[in-house]
Amino acid sequence: MAGESSLLAQSNPSASTLTDILTVAGIAAEVDDIIITNQGSTTALVRLAIAPTGAAVAAEQYILYGESLGPGRTLHVEFRRPLRIPVGGILRGFADSASVSFNVVGA
């Protein structure tokens, strides 16, 4: 139904590995929120990038870079309006610790 958000993707990437969290296929995705949680006991550095055409990562694709996330903390990235990622687009995440998870909510 229009206007309802649901879980689009979840990922717990390996440490220090840029990982495809959401690959958009079929129809464009509208991302409302990205929730990043550090379950570890040490501070983690996190990154988010969006490749609108699925291209290799480039500096201009980062929407978050080097954000410090303390142990047991959650970062809630909330967009004023849904972030539209076109078909073929990829949302990528990175953390320097394997104790960080990414959850993507939208339609």
pLDDT tens sequence for the chain (107 residues) = 456 899 999 999 999 999 999 999 999 999 999 999 999 999 999 999 999 999 999 999 999 999 999 999 999 999 999 999 999 999 999 999 999 999 999 99
11 half-sphere exposure, CB direction, 13 A CA radius: 22
pTM: predicted TM-score of the whole model, two decimal places: 0.93
61 C-beta neighbours (distance < 10 Å), count: 17
- Residues 82 and 32: beta-carbon distance below 8 Å: yes
Q: What six digits make up the tokens of 45?
A: 């550095």
Q: What is the largest CA-CA distance in the chain?
A: 40
| Beta bridge partner(s), residue 83 | 31
